[in-house]
């Protein structure tokens, strides 16, 4: 796994923390409004309204700024996932298919959001920027079950709808089929992550595996 670029140092005072926040927000603004090709340390300094020496005081290069931006974004996505997971948890007792669709939409949406920020950077460092693992850590910190445990419980809850077989094995294979398909899409067809047709095909794949033949 390629290690993320790191800052030179962390801010220790509120004034320096505000400076780093301005640098981070400037990076995000450039990515959103001008595109990754316009991202340089000088441009970050200009948009942040600081001297370039201030940027280099905390970050050795633009990649380190990007890593900081991505780490902050992952924390925000983990917060969003906590809220979304509460909705999915409620949905899980109402609709098997609807729950799978919501899970796929959430995971694909998070990956696509991170990819679009800076495609080249995210492709290079996506293993170190594992949104699924960050979300899993957050949910367990809130005394919720891990993703693997929850998914097994979800299948057991709908056992009457599912085809016969070992539930733990089915849960394992279904989870890794989902994760593998999303990872392959990120690597080979990243734009598909934002396409409704791709998500529906992935849903159909899981349903064909988990439900009995009709």
Q: Domains, the chain, ranges and CATH?
A: 14-210 (1.10.357.10)
Taking the mean position of all CA atoms in its chain, how far away is CA 103? 12
The pLDDT of 42-52, averaged and rounded, is 96
pLDDT of residue 180: 96
Is pLDDT at 1 greater than 70 in this prediction?
no
Q: Contact at 8 Å (CB) between 101 and 59?
A: no
The pLDDT of 184-201, averaged and rounded, is 96
DSSP 150-204: HHHHHHHHTTTTSPSS-HHHHHHHHHHHHHHHHHHHHHH-GGGGG-HHHHHHHHH
pTM of the predicted model as reported, rounded to 2 decimal places: 0.88
Is pLDDT at 51 greater than 90 in this prediction?
yes
Per-residue tokens: 200 = 């529906």
Taking the mean position of all CA atoms in its chain, how far away is CA 9? 26
Task: Determine whether 86 is exposed, middle or buried from the number of CB atoms within 10 Å of its CB (0-12, 13-18, 19+).
Answer: exposed
Residue 182 and residue 165: Cα distance in Å, rounded? 25
> ∠ at Cα 100 (97, 104), nearest 5°?
140
For the ranges 24-28, 77-81, 96-100, the lowest mean pLDDT is seen at 77-81
Predicted confidence band at 207 (pLDDT cuts at 50, 70, 90)?
very high
């Amino acid at each position: 796994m390629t290690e993320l670029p790191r800052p030179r140092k962390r801010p220790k005072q509120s004034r320096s923390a505000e400076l780093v926040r301005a640098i981070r927000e400037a990076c995000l603004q450039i990515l959103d409004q001008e595109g990754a090709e316009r991202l340089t340390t000088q441009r970050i300094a200009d948009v942040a309204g600081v001297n370039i020496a201030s940027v280099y005081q905390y970050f050795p290069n633009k990649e380190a700024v990007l890593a900081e931006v991505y780490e902050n974004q992952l924390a925000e996505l983990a917060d969003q996932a906590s809220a979304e997971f509460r909705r999915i948890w409620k949905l899980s007792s109402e609709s098997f298919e609807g729950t799978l669709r919501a899970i796929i939409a959430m995971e694909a949406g998070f990956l696509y959001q991170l990819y679009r920020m800076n495609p080249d950077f995210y492709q290079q460092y996506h293993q170190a920027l594992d949104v699924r693992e960050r979300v899993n850590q957050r949910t367990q910190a809130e005394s919720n079950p891990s993703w693997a445990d929850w998914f097994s419980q979800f299948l057991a809850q709908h056992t009457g709808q599912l085809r016969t077989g070992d539930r733990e094995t089915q849960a394992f294979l279904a989870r890794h089929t989902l994760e593998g398909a999303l990872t392959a899409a990120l690597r080979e067809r990243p734009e598909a992550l934002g396409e409704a047709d791709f998500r529906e095909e992935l849903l159909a794949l899981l349903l064909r595996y988990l439900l009995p033949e009709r």
